[in-house]
């Protein structure tokens, strides 16, 4: 980075909102506060309630930790950018934000994969669930998820850090994402894309494949259940997780797999749509996750009632 012409980054945020900025600021701040409160509440409830001492709820606390890391890394700068018509940050701070953003995204993908495996065992192999999904195995899988996420994103960040940044230092976004960062580089980024694809496979693509495979087997087992009540009971144990997976991966695919520029040629519109999708999975999804699990899970709802 010593030879870079760029030493600071300007994040524009939402420069065209004008008179709506204060309203949107208040809305996003409210969502952020409720998100922190909801995810923290789940962590506290699970850690202090013996009836929730199970792999499924332990995995849920890890998902909440990932959500807290993700939204706390993004939202404070977003709120500042809204009120000040953009913010300045050093290139190293921008890369640091990119690192923690990518690590939290990757950890969420891996944790959702582990949760799908947990639901697969519970529904497809109920008699073998307790012997297989022990607390030790659960801790090991969670530890691997966190370590692998931060380790791979370290290589990814170093990969981006090796680029030469020159010219404009303005990013028309509200955080330091992968694609906007590469647009500032004067280097050949073809090899960067190749290395990024290889690094993303074990933490994003592979988990998605395994999640889909798990739910195919789960669906086949549920369809074999003769009674309607039995099918509903089996599906209810994984419906919350499936909903979260659909929301989370839906926005990721919309942004990173199907570029909006291919659907809408106008740069301004495609950038605005990218920002909207980014808000969904960096601000809204961390709030939706605890809401889904608390509203659709009888054990958590009962625990909340007892503690109110």
State the DSSP code for 162. T
User: What pLDDT was estimated at residue 3?
Assistant: 52
Apex 250 CA angle, 244 and 251, nearest 5: 100
* Tokens standing for residue 135: 């607390």
Instruction: For 235-249, give the DSSP string.
Output: HHHHHHHHHHHHHHH
Query: Once rounded to an integer, what is the mean pLDDT over residues 160-184?
Result: 86
User: What pLDDT was estimated at residue 264?
Assistant: 44
What are 71-128's pLDDT values in tens digits?
Answer: 999 999 999 988 887 899 998 999 999 999 999 999 999 999 999 999 999 999 999 9
Q: Which residue has the higher pLDDT, 33 or 275?
A: 33
Q: Which residue has the higher pLDDT, 198 or 296?
A: 198
SS3 171: strand
**C-alpha distances out from residue 10 to 70, 169, 170, 176, Å:** 21, 6, 5, 10
Contacts of 241 (CB under 8 A, 6+ apart): 112, 115, 116, 119
- 34 pLDDT exceeds 70? yes
- 261 pLDDT exceeds 50? no
User: What pLDDT was estimated at residue 295?
Assistant: 64
- Res. 185 pLDDT band, cuts 50 70 90: confident
Query: Once rounded to an integer, what is the mean pLDDT over residues 222-236?
Result: 83
């Amino acid at each position: 980075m010593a030879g870079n012409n760029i030493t600071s980054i300007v994040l524009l945020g939402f420069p065209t909102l004008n008179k709506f900025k204060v309203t949107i600021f208040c809305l996003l701040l409210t969502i952020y506060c409720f998100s922190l409160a909801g995810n923290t509440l789940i962590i506290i409830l699970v850690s202090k309630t013996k009836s929730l001492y199970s792999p499924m709820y332990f995995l849920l606390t890890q998902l909440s930790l990932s959500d807290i890391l993700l939204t706390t890394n993004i939202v404070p700068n977003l709120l500042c950018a809204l009120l000040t018509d953009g913010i300045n940050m050093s290139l190293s701070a921008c890369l640091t934000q990119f690192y923690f953003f990518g690590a939290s995204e990757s950890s969420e993908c891996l944790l959702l994969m582990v949760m799908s495996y947990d639901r697969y065992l519970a529904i497809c192999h109920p008699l073998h669930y307790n012997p297989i999904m022990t607390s030790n195995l659960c801790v090991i899988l969670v530890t691997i998820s966190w370590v692998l996420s931060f380790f791979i994103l370290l290589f990814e960040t170093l990969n981006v850090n090796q680029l030469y940044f020159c010219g404009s230092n303005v990013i028309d976004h509200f955080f330091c994402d992968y694609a906007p960062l590469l647009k500032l580089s004067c280097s050949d980024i073809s090899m960067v894309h190749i290395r990024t694809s290889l690094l993303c496979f074990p933490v994003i693509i592979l988990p998605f494949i395994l999640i889909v495979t798990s739910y195919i087997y789960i669906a086949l087992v549920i369809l074999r259940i003769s009674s309607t009540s039995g099918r509903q009971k089996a599906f209810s144990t994984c419906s919350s997780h499936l909903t979260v997976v659909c929301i989370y991966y839906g926005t990721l695919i919309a942004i990173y797999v199907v570029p909006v520029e291919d659907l809408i040629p106008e740069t301004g519109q495609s950038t605005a749509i990218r920002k909207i999708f980014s808000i969904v999975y960096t601000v809204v999804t961390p709030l939706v996750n605890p809401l889904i699990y608390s509203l659709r899970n009888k054990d958590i709802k009962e625990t909340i009632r007892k503690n109110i």
